[in-house]
Amino acid sequence: MTTAQTTGMAYRPPRLRRAISKTLLYVAIIFVTAITIFPIYWMIVSTIQPNKYSLSFPPPFFPQEISFTQFGLLFAQRPIANWLKNSFVIATISMLLVTALSVLGAYALSSLRWRGRSLFGLFLLVTQMLPEILVLVPLYILYNQLEQLNSLPALAVVDAAFALPVCIWILKGVFDAVPPEVLDAALVDGCSEFSTVWRIVLPLSLPGLVAVAVVAFFGGWNEFLYASILVGSTELMPASVGLTTLSGLSGVLVEQYMGAGMIFSILPVAFYLSMQRYIIAGLSAGAVKG
């Protein structure tokens, strides 16, 4: 039966067969990719074409006319610059805290053998899996008592607590890849533990450090739940919350609404995509080999 099948296949001209399967493959890939990115395409189209086209039904699939004036109007008429500034402050504080702390945790998990090691790893895994809402109610009551509602640093430290476990896993994976012989040699040569890490491990792990900084920064930048509850004043509102208020404001055009979403998304998308290898390894903490 096997022989019959092979001869049957050999009967078809192989070049034609390959051409057909190649074409089918490309059609499938274009189809799948098009469906996946259509919503993003639509956001871009709705931003760059004047409102009148978006508000016709059925709307045109390709932009009929392109304009960029909405970006200027957006910054002039809406507090979007202030929102972005607040997001930047939150994200930066969270990034600094998480990057510093995750170096400590990743080194303890990766290079050292100690009794509490697997317990520490378990602790991180569990905290990583807890839903954010569980912490929010008690934290809201606490911040209310301490009069820390409406404080960007007080918000940033909570964002950092949720980014920290993932970032430790990311960095642990990167530290694991540093050859142990290099560390041994440095220790034998009289380097202190600290200078080994500072002069050898960290420079070799630079991409991992960047990935950690990206996750922590944009974790704070994108975060919505805590920001919407712990910061109430419009003055301190970060962009993730501010954007959701746009649709309620009067006179906001579709092009402005979508444009604001684009401005907010451009940095996280660019950085997440360029660091995706490390971030995904950390998020799945051991599900991916290598």
Partner 1 sequence: MKPSSGKVHRRLHLLPYLLALPIVLYEGVFIVSPIAQGIYGSFTRIDLGSGKPQIWVGLANYARMFADDLFWQALKNTLTISAMVIIVALVAALATALLFNRPFRFRAGARALMMIPWAFPEVPVVMIFIWILSPQFGVANVIARLIPGVTENPMWLQDSNLAIGSVVLISAWKAFPFYSLVILAALQSVSQELYDAAKVDGANVFQLFRNITLPGILPTIEVLLVLAVIFSFKGFALIFLLTGGGPNYATETVILRIYNAAFRFYDYSYAAAMGVAGFVISLVIAIGFITMQARRARELA
- Chain positions 145 to 204 lying near partner 1, rule: CB under 8 A, are 157-158, 160-162, 164-165, 168, 180, 183-184, 187-188, 193
Residue 200 DSSP one-character state: I
Any idea how long the chain is? 290
Stretch of 12-20, 69-77, 88-96, 257-265 lying at the interface with partner 1 (CB under 8 A) = 257-265
- Site track for partner 1 across 105-144, x = CB under 8 A: x-xx--xxxx-xx--x-xxxxxx-xxxxxxxxxxxxxx-x
Interface map 32-71 toward partner 1 (x if CB under 8 A): xx--xx-xx-xx--x-------xxxxxx------------
Question: Measured between alpha carbons, how far is 54 from 160 in angstroms, rounded to an integer?
Answer: 39
Q: Are 165 and 127 in contact (CB under 8 A)?
A: yes
Distances in Å between the alpha carbon of 43 and those of 251, 255, 260, 266? 19, 9, 10, 12
Q: 64 or 127, CB closer to partner 1?
A: 127
CA 91 to CA 74: how far, in whole Å? 22
- Least separation in angstroms between residue 187's CB and partner 1 is 6
Given 247, 248, 250, 251, the residue binding partner 1 (CB under 8 A): 247
Nearer to partner 1, 185 or 206 (CB): 185
- The verdict on whether omega for the bond into residue 58 sits within 30 degrees of 0, i.e. cis, is yes
The interface with partner 1 within residues 86-105 (CB under 8 A) comprises 101, 104-105
Q: CB-wise, 38 or 68, nearer to partner 1?
A: 38
Candidate list 19, 20, 29, 81; residue touching partner 1; CB under 8 A: 29
For partner 1, which residue of 19, 20, 28, 73 counts as binding (CB under 8 A)? 28
- Rounded to whole angstroms, what are the CA distances from 251 to 51, 60, 263? 12, 23, 19
- Distances, alpha carbon 94 to alpha carbons 23, 36, 158, in Å: 48, 31, 8
